[in-house]
Amino acid sequence: MLSKWKAAAPYLLSLLRIAAAFIFLQAGTMKLFAWPAGMPNGATASPFTQVWVGGVLEVVGGALLLIGLCTRPVAFVLAGEMAVAYFQFHFPQGAWPIVNNGVGAALYSFVWLYFSAAGAGPWSVDAKLGR
C-alpha cells in the first residue's frame, strides 16, 4: 500500500499545481475582469498600475501553470511577485500572516518557489515536451 502511495507522488504534484493555479488565476481575473467577483469596490484595476500588473502576472502566469507550460521560470517569477505582495501590503500590518491577512501571499510564494525547483509533474505540457 505504501509503495503505491509513494508512486502517486508525481501525479499529486501535478494535481497540486493544477488546483493552486486554478485558484491563483482567479485572483488575476478578479483584478482585471471583476470575475468571478470584483475587487472590494467592485471595480477592476486601472491599467498599468501595480495592482493591474499583478493581475496580468496572475492571469498569464496562472494560466501557464494551470497547463504546466514553462513551469519553472513562471513559478519563480510568481514566487517573487507573491513575496513582494506579502512584504509590501501585508507585513506592514503586522508580523504574523494570520493577523495581517497575508496567508495566501506567503503560502503562494513558497508553493511557487517549490514548483520552480520541482517542475510541473507528469500531467503537464512541459512533460509532454520532455522538459
Tens of pLDDT along 76-101?
A: 999 999 999 999 999 999 999 999 99
- CA–CA separation, 130 vs 120, rounded Å? 11
Tens of pLDDT along 43-82?
A: 999 999 999 999 999 999 999 999 999 999 999 999 999 9
In this structure, what C-alpha cell is assigned to residue 127? 512533460
- CA–CA separation, 71 vs 47, rounded Å? 26
Handedness of CA 58, 23, 108, 67 (dihedral sign): negative
Record the pTM: 0.94
